[in-house]
Amino acid sequence: MTQTKRVLVTGGAGFLGSHLCDRLIASGCEVICLDNFFTGSKRNIAHLLANPAFEIKRHDLVDPILLEVDQIYNLACPASPVHYQYNPVKTVKTSVMGMINMLGLAKRVRARILQASTSEVYGDPVQHPQKETYWGNVNPIGPRSCYDESKRVAETLMMDYHRQNAVDIRIARIFNTYGPRMAVNDGRVVSNFIVQALRGEPITIYGDGSQTRSFCYVSDLIDGLMRLMNAEGLTGPVNIGNPGEFTIRELAELTISLTGSASKIVQRPLPQDDPVQRQPDITLAQEKLGWQPRVALKEGLIETIAYFEKTLSGEIVQPA
């Protein structure tokens, strides 16, 4: 008899978490979505509330919780620089105490646990593209370190619980991901540019726009996370991202052209420690998971623009 898997998704009401909940439910799992709604929204999971396979728990990950589950996807943590720098101490608590709480739970109920780590563990990388073997170049005392360093400690905790307590772990290093259900006020570059373009407001490039990022569409990312969770014999870390690398100026120009906006590009100061370049080496994911992204930036932007058009027109309601 095959039993239905019960899966915990922390941060399940957020951008990535809500898409993950959808895909898990569609694949026949029972899902417990845990969230404190700091950056997440009930709107993202409203369509799942009537589904008997879906359950929502308002809970802060900083506090321990006991649940009976088979798998844990640990996504709870603000991901936008604007939000993770709003209360940096809380960000560290969420990543570190939250990780300890989830690893304690995984150990106790013998659940497999996947941590949503980040390309930010590479900091401002001097190796390009970034391979999983690169140890990174992170400022430990800057405004981004509450996020970068606490995600690094979370990886350390994952490995130590694995070595010390044989907890079954998976570490995914996620690179910049975008798509529908990003919050209008998220503050990350793709949603900022689309919202500005649709509102006819200036497109705010930080610095001269020559810094690069590699943008992954959300459906590809979720596919990669689920493959990693369900693969055998691979703890990670594994890079999950789209190697297509663009300058921020190129992204601004593409957004203007796809929206047909009259918005003009303006320059704003470059935030401290903003990484100059970033591109994943995804050889490991390709070889071990048979995974690679399928959605090109232009295609993904068209979907995301359609979503924000509906959101801004009030057809999809987002909280202020």
Q: Which option in ligand UDP, ligand NAD, none does residue 192 bind, with CB closer than 5 to 8 A by kind?
A: ligand UDP
What are the residues whose beta carbons fall under 8 Å from the beta carbon of 118, sequence distance 6 or more?
A: 79, 147, 148, 151, 173, 174, 175
Three-state SS letters, 25-54:
HHCCCEEEEEECCCCCCHHHHHHHCCCCCE
Q: Which option in ligand NAD, ligand UDP, none does residue 189 bind, with CB closer than 5 to 8 A by kind?
A: ligand UDP
Closest approach of ligand UDP to the CB of residue 292, in Å: 21
Q: Does 211 engage in binding with ligand UDP (CB under 6 A)?
A: yes
Between residues 75 and 256, which has the closer beta carbon with respect to ligand NAD? 75
Q: Which two tokens stand for residue 122?
A: 């590479």
Between residues 76 and 203, which has the closer beta carbon with respect to ligand UDP? 203
**Residues 209, 251: Cα–Cα separation, whole Å:** 9
Closest approach of ligand NAD to the CB of residue 94, in Å: 4
Q: Is 84 a residue of the active site?
A: no
Q: Which two tokens stand for residue 47?
A: 């369509």
Active-site pick, 147, 161, 178, 217: 147
**φ, ψ dihedrals at 252, nearest 5°:** -60, -45
**Residues 162, 53: Cα–Cα separation, whole Å:** 30
Closest approach of ligand UDP to the CB of residue 81, in Å: 5
Strand partners, 187: none
Residue type, 301: L
**Residues 139, 121: Cα–Cα separation, whole Å:** 10
Q: Which two tokens stand for residue 101?
A: 């709480």
Closest approach of ligand NAD to the CB of residue 186, in Å: 7
The footprint of ligand NAD (CB under 6 A) covers: 11, 13-17, 35-40, 60-62, 75-79, 94, 98, 116, 118, 174, 176-177
The footprint of ligand UDP (CB under 6 A) covers: 80-81, 176, 188-189, 192, 204-206, 211, 213, 248, 271, 274
Would you please indicate which residues are annotated as catalytic (active-site) residues? 147
